[in-house]
Chain A
Amino acid sequence: MRAIFQSKTFAILTILLTLLVIWYVMAVKLNTPWQLGVYERAGTSEWTTSQFINDTLNQKRPVLPSAHQVFSEMYVTIFQKPITSKRSLVYHSWITLSATLLGFAIGTLFGILIAIGITNNKALDRSLMPWVIASQTIPILAIAPMIIVVLNAIGLSGLLPKALISTYLSFFPIVVGMVKGFRSPKNIQLDLMQTYFASPMQIFFKLRWPSALPYLFTSMKVAIAIALVGAIVGELPTGAVAGLGARLLTGSYYGQTVQIWSALFMAAILAASLVMIVGLIEKRVTKNMGLTT
């Protein structure tokens, strides 16, 4: 029994439950003014507390939708609509997901290439590295709408512009992580390779690359989460055609709070599962390499 109380899962579940309770209390509180107005207009002067709470939790356009509203909306839009329908959350998620994955793939490749350049060329290291860091202080998401619109103007639309924003966001953690990773072999290991008369290529593939892999996975977890943010923000200015970002935007235009919240939860689920998938691959690879401790 004590073991259960002290376990991590118990602690997390307790806190989640507390959050859920707070959510419902807040929902009742925030939706109260509107509900009072409704009663006044309808002329209902008497109501029971339970009826009142029930009504506040089931408004059509609540200030804060209750949890069951959000989840039933998610259930309906995920499972009960054909996935080609524009009302299906799966359809929108897939659009965002494809941009995320494409951008993440390009960003990872690009980041690894830059990291290779930085570790092998001193001039590149000294001149490029400060700018790679400076590029991070620029709020690149702010440029997102411009990139989208400009690329649209020259005929590039759809997947690629969004993917480019994800690329820009995800390449940074990869570069920083991989530069650290490529430099992680100790001098004694490099010396050993020298005594083996290994060529630079051999040193790279047999020593530097394997020792950089743990760093790669750590950076990839950060990168894929941030790539998803990039794709969502990239969808905001396209006139809200499709995608989770578009769901957020149309939801906010038309006051569809339930839609906003369900899109948010969907984005959260996507982010969590993407990070988890990278984590699983990491476990697999490090196990095959014999690195797991």
Chain B
Amino acid sequence: MNYGAATNWTIVFFTFVFWLLAWFLNSWLVKQEEKNPNLRNFNTIAVPIIFGITLLVVWEGLVRGFNVPTVLLPPPSMIWERIINSTDILWLDFKQTFLKAVLIGYALGCGSGFLVAIAIDRSPFLQRGLLPLGNFVSALPIVGVAPIMVMWFGFDWPSKAAVVIIMTFFPMLVNTVSGLSASNNMERDLMRTYASSYWQTLFKLRLPAAGPFIFNALKINSTLALIGAIVAEFFGTPIYGMGFRISTEVGRMNVDMVWAEIAMAAVAGSLFYGVIALIERKVTFWHPSIRGGRN
């Protein structure tokens, strides 16, 4: 590999050729009208994957070709090497930030949002007052409470979990309340003719009908939770944690370590989201957006 100061045009050229080839392959794949459903499924998965691979190759090629300083943007291969070489540190950070702060905060925040929504469901007065406030709070920069939480609950994970709880509470509240009113009058009247109690109506009709809304909140919250926990760590942590690692390694110009953390955060976030989406498919299988096939 040529590490001279000058631009290595061969690499740039081959990168460009690869990009063109991948582009044509994708356009060709998209045009295929597959009759075989298995092959068609393969196609829908292959197209974005090819795009992703192209992105990585172009990244690698351009960084190496133009000799971009690794401080600015390390090539993917270097990041991968760093991930392989420091799995122990990454695992320690992951345990601290994701398994403790994010998951616990997420469960408590979503759970309490859900319970409060059911509690205020019976009081139109509280609904009228709390809903606009909930909507308003959802638009606020809640991560700003992070320094206060760190001050109150100390440097360890409880303060991060507290930030996550506050961030996830309101989307859950607002979505559940609007979900609970999703069933229409005719359906509720039917439950009435069955002489079902409030709780029976709630569990057999209104909660299932609220499913799509609740899962929407769960999905929004999955990304919010990770962001909240990481940003909260910028304000003070013990000597491990994803946010801590990112902010200190940036200071030491160890950019490959930072990117390794980011890659891990991205994978964790995507998996978290994916698991919730899968559960959604199983639970709200009746909803048109899922029954109607893909997406």
Binding site for B on A (CB under 8 A): 8, 11-12, 14-16, 30, 63, 122-123, 126-131, 134, 136-143, 145-146, 149-150, 153-154, 221, 225, 228-229, 232-233, 236-237, 244, 248-249, 251-252, 255, 257, 260-261, 263-264, 267-268, 271-272, 275
Verify if B44 is at the interface (C-beta below 8 Å from A): yes
CB neighbours of B235 from chain A (8 A): 249, 252
Asked whether B140 lies within 8 Å of A268 as measured between CB atoms, the reply is: yes
Asked whether A137 lies within 8 Å of B223 as measured between CB atoms, the reply is: yes
Task: Point out the residue from B52, B140, B234, B265 that lies within 8 Å of A145, measured CB to CB.
Answer: B234
Q: Which chain A residue has the least Cβ–Cβ distance from B242?
A: A142
CB neighbours of A122 from chain B (8 A): 27, 30-31
Stretch at the interface among B57-65, B82-90, B207-215, B225-233: B225-233
Instruction: Tell me whether chain B's interface is mostly helix, strand or loop, or mixed.
Output: helix
Asked whether A141 lies within 8 Å of B227 as measured between CB atoms, the reply is: yes
CB neighbours of A128 from chain B (8 A): 51
CB neighbours of A228 from chain B (8 A): 141
Given A229-B143, A267-B140, A123-B129 contact (CB < 8 Å) = no
CB neighbours of B55 from chain A (8 A): 131
Instruction: Tell me whether chain A's interface is mostly helix, strand or loop, or mixed.
Output: helix
Asked whether B132 lies within 8 Å of A146 as measured between CB atoms, the reply is: no
Q: How far is the CA of A138 from the CA of B270 in the complex (A)?
A: 7
Nearest-Cβ distance from residue A16 to partner chain B, whole angstroms:
8
Asked whether B223 lies within 8 Å of A139 as measured between CB atoms, the reply is: yes
Nearest-Cβ distance from residue B186 to partner chain A, whole angstroms:
24
CB neighbours of A129 from chain B (8 A): 48
Given A127-B47, A153-B71, A237-B250, A142-B262 contact (CB < 8 Å) = yes
Nearest-Cβ distance from residue B184 to partner chain A, whole angstroms:
20
Q: How far is the CA of A276 from the CA of B51 in the complex (A)?
A: 39
Q: How far is the CA of A55 from the CA of B27 in the complex (A)?
A: 72
Task: Point out the residue from B51, B140, B222, B258 that lies within 8 Å of A271, measured CB to CB.
Answer: B140
Task: Point out the residue from A123, A149, A260, A272 that lies within 8 Å of B147, measured CB to CB.
Answer: A260
Asked whether B129 lies within 8 Å of A12 as measured between CB atoms, the reply is: yes
CB neighbours of A271 from chain B (8 A): 139-141
